[in-house]
Copies of this chain bind each other. A is one copy, B any other.
Amino acid sequence: MLVISTLTAVSLMASPLVKTAKDAGLVAIPESQSVLLRLTDNVRNSITAEKVALGKQLYFDPRLSKSALISCNTCHNLAEGGDDGVSAAIGHNWTANPHHLNSPTVLNAVFFSSQFWDGRDPDLEKQAQGPIQAHPEMAATKEHVVATVTSMPEYVRSFKMAYGKDVKIDFEKVTDTIATFERTLVTPSKFDDFLNGCSGALNKEEKEGLKTFIDKGCATCHNGVALGGEMQAFGITGKYKHADLGDFKGDKNGLVKVPTLRNITKTAPYYHNGGIWSLKEAIVEMGRIQLGIKLSDKEASSIEAFLKTLDGRMPHITYPTLPASTATTPRPDAN
């Protein structure tokens, strides 16, 4: 339900908070499919139905990994808010992420200005290349991925349908296709309805929470469409509690990416190190570490009430059926 109507202007005028929120850099996800696709498209890798359908299969296909047991969806589980719900990601051979990094959600990741906690990759296309090849994650090689995909005639047919009959199925084409699917994983929420002019979408408590969120300075970093993902922030100053910090040093300036707050109720544990399980505790701790303030219990509860309005409407995903392996499909290797 896209709320763009003659009522919009009236509603907007009835909600001074909407203007405040927009001034603070909080931007809505429009819900119309065509607007969404335009918003989430890029020039190099345009979104088409064929690419999305194929990308979904690849996203859910564990045979892209060395063991044939780990898919993109293993750590970015679309049933669990787009992540894995564990503190540090666990991949090939049951190896925990060596930097003790928490898997970020894939939902709305298309809106981030950079990918990974250290922001090292510019977009989902590039990001998708990382975990497939990382040894503690999917532990595959480019050659393994290409050999796997091209061993199955159904995949080859689908690539031809998506990119034309002369398509060269290389590693980048596979990861581009996965990223195309990921670009569709956006989750409009009650808060978007509010920003789109539906003043009644938030109740009194939630509106107060939004005001607290802005007034206390949370929106300084958690801004943009995803309420996060737009910038690198202070990061690992060594002041974190509850933290097995591993050896993660952040980006070259020691900064760590601000994560999205969308669907935050579904993506515990929190922070780049998955150090805190309670949302309210995480809010208080962020006040202390990032804003240098002590949030009262009431203020933290108020912010939490607002954050709950960011729970999104999940895309409808039909679980895919994958092509059968053939004689030339690389055999699983769990070692």
Q: Which residues of A does B touch, CB under 8 Å?
A: 57, 60-63, 67-69, 74, 77-81, 84-87, 90, 93-94, 96, 265-266, 268, 277-278, 314, 316-322, 324-325, 327, 331-332, 334
How often does this chain occur in the complex, in copies? 2
Contact in complex: B78, A331 (CB < 8 Å): no
A112 to B80 alpha-carbon distance, docked (Å): 32
The listed residue with most B CB atoms (<10 A of its CB), out of A77, A87, A265, is A77
Contact in complex: A334, B94 (CB < 8 Å): yes
The listed residue with most B CB atoms (<10 A of its CB), out of A61, A84, A90, is A90
Contact in complex: A332, B85 (CB < 8 Å): yes
| Smallest CB-CB A-B distances: 7 pairs | A94-B94, A317-B319, A266-B324, A86-B332, A319-B319, A79-B322, A265-B324
Contact in complex: B278, A86 (CB < 8 Å): no
In the complex, what residues of B have CB within 8 A of residue A320's CB? 79
Q: Which of B68, B278, B319, B324 contacts A318 (CB 8 A)?
A: B319
**Contact (A80, B322) CB under 8 Å given A63-B85, A90-B334, A94-B334:** yes
A74 to B62 alpha-carbon distance, docked (Å): 10
